[in-house]
Amino acid sequence: MGARYKIIDTLGEGTFGKVVEVKDLEMEHRMALKIIKNVEKYREAAKLEINVLEKLADIDPDCKNLCVKMLDWFEYHGHMCIAFEMLGQSVFDFLKDNNYQPYPLEHVRHIAYQLIYSVLFLHDNKLTHTDLKPENILFVDSDYELVSVYSSSKKKHELRRVKRSDVRLIDFGSATFDHEHHSTIVSTRHYRAPEVILELGWSQPCDVWSIGCIMFELHLGITLFQTHDNREHLAMMERILGPIPYRMARKTRTKYFYHGKLDWDEKSSAGRYVRDNCKPLLRYMQNNSEEQRQLFELIARMLDYEPSQRITLREALKHPFFSKLPPHQRLGNDRARCNGESSGSRERSHSLSR
């Protein structure tokens, strides 16, 4: 890493390369360094990510909109390297290490609020993230306390409870400006919107769908659409959310429909799997409290099949589910933003075009 950075530890590995913790010997602080494989397609993706992060930093130098802060980038023997502020675990890794025990409702509310606020900032600036998932939401600090809980069989369990639920959004490698080429398929499978699977074109609403899936997962500790197959994915959607609209079924050029109906054999083993493992959305509610109803109502509006009918993130911030958010957790001028007075985003959005 040249004379400046000393590698301390490996934080994670992925298809693109790896992320290591480094010490900046000049500035005496630690950073997360993303080292991209010396492979052309990953190098190009890294350059796109750097471009997006530089543009976001121009508009929001203090990261008030909760996107991860890029500190530096450089090339090293053909590897693109991007240095970021050090953050904690992802909300996915914390969930996994906690035995998939769901987050308390107030944490779901705070994490979802921050995620919506951050992604709305992208949308206001003509960007779609396209890869929202629990792995790409990091706690600022994932320090936790152990809490004792008792199961129905009176057995005592130790649960991790994060002390601070502040988060940052990461991974802008697939973020796409409105004027740029839109890849046909985007998003990680489980968080992929129906218009993407059906190849009907996509824009900002595909992020909203992903956020709905994420909120469900944080609240229940299970993935809403646990599948790796398009047809099965669509069958799960129909089981959980009702039939896919005729307009979308007729318009798609994919081969998943026959006369406007999903071509799916409910009696096959895959059919039984979907029936046994999925149920209508509201049947996942664990009680009938006002807060649960509000949460599921918001998730349902994010999971509207029709992108044009899906709730927008500006509307989502106004949803009653967030009315119980304590004042100290509210961000910036969210009241002004909710009223449509986006702080200068109309003047600023032009400065983002490449």
Binding site for ATP, residues? 34
DSSP symbol at 296: H
**Within 13 Å of residue 314, how many CA atoms lie on the same side as its CB?**
14
What single string gives the DSSP state of each residue in 163-216?
A: S---EEE---TT-EETTS---SS-S-GGG--HHHHTTS---THHHHHHHHHHHH
Annotated binding site: 34
60, 72, 93, 131: which one is catalytic? 131
Measured distance between the N- and C-terminal CA atoms of the chain, rounded to whole angstroms: 30
CB 351 within 8 A of CB 58: yes
Helices 205-220, 105-124: inter-axial angle, 10-degree rounding: 170
What is each CA distance from 308 to 205, 246, 346, in whole angstroms? Answer: 8, 15, 21
Residue type (1 letter), 208: V
- Is 131 known to be catalytic? yes
- Residues marked as catalytic: 131
